[in-house]
Chains A and B, each alone.
Chain A
Amino acid sequence: MRMKLNYRIVVFLLAIIFGLFFSIPSLLQTENGKKVTLGLDLQGGLHMLLGVKTEEATLSRIKSITSSIKHFSQRKDILVDNLIFDESGVSFNLLDSDDTKHIKEFLDKIEGAAIVINGENISLSLSQEEIEKTKKQAIDQAIETIRNRLDQFGLAEPVVARQGEEKILVQLAGIKTQEEEQRARELISRAAKLELMAVDEDRIARVHGMSHADAASYGDVILEDAKNSQIKYLVREIPIIDGGMLTNASVGFDQNNRPIINFSLNAEGAEIFGDFTGRSVGKRLAIVLDGKVYSAPNINERIGGGSGQISGDYTVMEAKDLAIALRSGALLAPIYLMEKRSVGPSLGAESIQASMIALIGGFILVIFFMVTYYRAAGVIANIALIANLFIILAVMSLFGATLTLPGMAGIVLTVGMAVDANVIISERIRELIHQGVSIHKAIEDGYSNAMSAILDANITTLIAAVVLYVYGTGAIKGFAITISIGILASMLTAILGTHGIYQMLETKIQKSKNNRFWFGIKGK
């Protein structure tokens, strides 16, 4: 008996080969080949949505302008008095009005600054545009910085992406322990703002009786020691050097073999540092990291070359993380947590197991039911269903889509819904056979009659799935993906594929005249 080959069966076979070929890497977890990525809810990991306190970026920009004004005036011997700053801008008095031209030339070079000269008083503020720009930069820079830090952290494929206008999405798969998570969170959130500040030697003796307001009135700030919060330092508010001038940081060891961090400054920083140390021999320099004083060594001589070190009570691991943070640059503005989801690996594994049981259980029930009810027609539908599952997996592997727990639910649901097309078709065929038409006509008309209903039904489900994809977040997107692929694949398998099988078997079905075997209905 000859079976007719037709284009449908060829396409169907190609689709099956495609499905098998591309799903093998995921199924067998082979070394090579593209695999489905498991979502954080299945493999365990950390998902965070971070916000940036952008208003603090503006302040830090103004602070850095202030310190550049201070340095410029000292270098050019311009006498400046009452140099103060707040979130709205910088202001100072010029003692010698002959210097106005000089200082104005310098200030004009600062981008986005509005300068008001009122006699001897000069004030500078940032334009609204510049403030917006600074805020935007703070977000961009935060994304860049966090990405740099995580790349050096050593986790596989960290995700750092902008979400919406001003949120940062961070996804870390494969975080296995609480300690790892803690390390990652600290690395991400650390401001890593290094400042070198001059100790106010004239007043530091009185620091313990001083309030923050008192200190501010002298242009100073009170900072705590990093190891012992009882020890306080009084330092000049305007830093000599800030972290922007840092070019490198690495872990080294001191003479006692304790880990330290060596850092080096860029040319500008080296120059300022050299000038300052030359001027301040005999005084102390505070090395300040994230608002805490790590050490305050005496300046014995002018230090050229622009390098220094930070010593603290670090473990090697802590020193390494800190060096990473310093190297990847400071965060211009602090970040805060908007959303966090962390799933332990054991829960993920349990979810995989539970959804696999549901998938296999549901699958067996459906397959058994279809065969009992439709006999051979049911077997054909089941072949299409199995092909469908492979194709879903193959497409997801190929595009590197993420399989989440709702995504698994989507696949389970597809099993139930994909046979729908075959149910509709088989019912139509049965109906036509009851009417007494030939097998050939029953099959062809069955398919064409069923087509409009199947198409409309699938398209409306697709509409809902697409909306879910666009508006859904995180794991829910995974559900929309699997459902959509499942629907599209079912058009290929359940409609085209089964039609091809029927066409191939048509003469056989006709000759056998056994409708009970083929379609599960009483023979003629």
Chain B
Amino acid sequence: MEFFKYTRTFSFMGKSKFALVLSVVLVLSSLALLAIKGLNYGVDFAGGTIIQVKYDKTAPIDEMREKLKSNSIFNGASITEFGSPDEVVIRMKTTSGDVTVDIGDVTREALKETGNYEIRRVDIVGPKVGNELREKGIMSLLLAIMGILIYVAFRFEWRFAVASIVALVHDVSIALGAITLVGLDVNLDVLAALLTILGYSLNDTIIVFDRIREGVTESKNLELDETIDESITKTLARTTLTSLTTLFVVFTLFMFGGEIIHSFAFTLLVGIVVGTYSSIFVASPILLWFGFDVKNYHAKLAAKAKREAEKAKMRAQYESGVV
């Protein structure tokens, strides 16, 4: 089976203006969403308490609310359904530092008469730990981006590095916007998903860039946009296929992975779609706009080849005992 044949080159760069508009609109509306609605930090980063309760029937949420009112410890607690009607999560902004008095036990006591249930999970994150996790989280995102920037600049050229970073920022912004839009809690798993998107989107971008580099090095054609179009066309099958296989598995995770992995899978789902798009329509045109100069690159390559040839010659002479 073949989806794509390389019989003709698609004009991607010709459509990059539309893509630009689309990307700018998406990124700006994501940023606006972030600014207005704000990220919904979960307990991992904001600190707080989460208690997950599963009933053997539909959870009596109203009755639970009533019962929890009896203890001031639950002031400001919210109860929401979690995955299925049987299961609920009680969220609180407060935490208790007492090791012996357990909020799980207190909850059990408070909900005593609401039916048969099981407390399946208690997460308490103190404010200090929450702050630390958030700082570490932001640090890890920045460090990953930095590391990648340095590597790509070293392996390709600085314009490639900048272009891939712009694409990454584009992807992460839109993913964050989508998270805000559906109101997901941002916890450690979402952070892990964002970092995975970084790696994944970059994968895609690099595969395309690798082809562009190859195209630029080998072809005599000095028109960069044509080389880019040709390279994207040649990698189109791969881009689509890998995105598809990855989407398959992330989609099964999203559908069947359970409620706990839900936010993680959702973030990945958005990220993979956006990441695939950005490697073609964001990263590549940026090369063009940044004025990547094919002639100049050829000259550089020639100089490098010359240097290496000289080195090899010297070595050969040295080894044969001439020098």
Report whether B238 and A423 are in contact in the complex, using a CB–CB cutoff of 8 Å.
Answer: yes
* Complexed CA–CA distance, A420 and B5 (Å): 19
* Complexed CA–CA distance, A50 and B189 (Å): 22
* Complexed CA–CA distance, A266 and B95 (Å): 41
Please, which residue of chain A has its CB at the minimum distance from the CB of B96? A337
The answer, yes or no, to whether B249 is at the interface (CB within 8 Å) is yes
Contact among B124, B211, B214, B258 with A339 in the assembled complex (CB-CB below 8 Å): B124
Report whether B119 and A337 are in contact in the complex, using a CB–CB cutoff of 8 Å.
Answer: no
Report whether B210 and A338 are in contact in the complex, using a CB–CB cutoff of 8 Å.
Answer: no
Please, which residue of chain A has its CB at the minimum distance from the CB of B147? A463
Task: Tell me which residues across on chain A come within 8 A of B140, comparing CB atoms.
Answer: 467-468, 470-472
The answer, yes or no, to whether A416 is at the interface (CB within 8 Å) is yes
Task: Tell me which residues across on chain A come within 8 A of B62, comparing CB atoms.
Answer: none
Minimum Cβ distance to chain A for residue B92 (Å): 13
Task: Tell me which residues across on chain A come within 8 A of B6, comparing CB atoms.
Answer: 431, 434
> Provided the pairs A344-B118, A464-B198 are in contact, do residues A453 and B210 lie with their beta carbons within 8 angstroms?
yes
The answer, yes or no, to whether B163 is at the interface (CB within 8 Å) is no
Q: Which residues of A from 324 to 350 have beta carbons under 8 Å from B?
A: 335-344, 346-347, 350
* Complexed CA–CA distance, A338 and B156 (Å): 46
* Complexed CA–CA distance, A30 and B191 (Å): 36
* Complexed CA–CA distance, A370 and B151 (Å): 31
Task: Tell me which residues across on chain B come within 8 A of A415, comparing CB atoms.
Answer: 249
Report whether A406 and B192 are in contact in the complex, using a CB–CB cutoff of 8 Å.
Answer: yes
The answer, yes or no, to whether A475 is at the interface (CB within 8 Å) is yes
> Provided the pairs A464-B148, A464-B198 are in contact, do residues A412 and B120 lie with their beta carbons within 8 angstroms?
no
The answer, yes or no, to whether B215 is at the interface (CB within 8 Å) is no
Report whether A188 and B99 are in contact in the complex, using a CB–CB cutoff of 8 Å.
Answer: yes
Tell me the dominant secondary structure on chain B's binding face: helix
Task: Tell me which residues across on chain A come within 8 A of B264, comparing CB atoms.
Answer: 406, 409
Please, which residue of chain A has its CB at the minimum distance from the CB of B246? A416
Q: Which residues of A from 181 to 213 have beta carbons under 8 Å from B?
A: 181-182, 185-186, 188-189
Chain A CB within 10 Å — which of B52, B124, B152 has the most?
Answer: B124
The answer, yes or no, to whether B182 is at the interface (CB within 8 Å) is no
The answer, yes or no, to whether B100 is at the interface (CB within 8 Å) is yes
* Complexed CA–CA distance, A470 and B98 (Å): 30
Contact with A along B13-33 (1 / 0, CB 8 A): 000000000000000000000
* Complexed CA–CA distance, A361 and B258 (Å): 14
Contact with A along B87-99 (1 / 0, CB 8 A): 0000000011111
Contact among A342, A430, A460 with B121 in the assembled complex (CB-CB below 8 Å): A342
Task: Tell me which residues across on chain B come within 8 A of A465, comparing CB atoms.
Answer: 195, 199
Minimum Cβ distance to chain A for residue B144 (Å): 4
Interface stretch of the complex, out of B125-133, B219-227, B309-317: B125-133
* Complexed CA–CA distance, A370 and B152 (Å): 30
* Complexed CA–CA distance, A189 and B143 (Å): 37
Please, which residue of chain B has its CB at the minimum distance from the CB of A369? B245
B binding-site residues for A, Cβ under 8 Å = 1-2, 5-6, 52, 54, 95-100, 102, 104-105, 108, 118-126, 128-129, 133, 136-137, 139-140, 143-144, 147-148, 151-152, 155, 188-189, 191-192, 195-196, 198-200, 202-203, 206-207, 210-211, 214, 234-235, 237-238, 241-242, 244-253, 255-258, 260-261, 264-265, 268
Top 10 nearest A-B pairs (CB, nearest first) are: A362-B249, A354-B258, A189-B99, A416-B246, A471-B140, A461-B199, A453-B210, A464-B199, A336-B97, A347-B120
Instruction: Taking A341-B121, A457-B203 as given, write out 14 further A-B residue pairs in contact, using a Cβ cutoff of 8 Å, ordered by the A residue number.
Output: A337-B95, A337-B98, A337-B99, A338-B128, A369-B244, A406-B192, A412-B252, A413-B249, A420-B242, A456-B151, A461-B199, A476-B188, A480-B192, A520-B2
A binding-site residues for B, Cβ under 8 Å = 41, 48-51, 178, 181-182, 185-186, 188-189, 335-344, 346-347, 350-351, 354-355, 357-358, 361-363, 365-366, 369-370, 372-373, 405-406, 409, 412-413, 415-417, 419-420, 423-424, 427, 430-431, 434, 449, 452-453, 456-457, 459-461, 463-465, 467-468, 470-476, 479-480, 483, 520-522
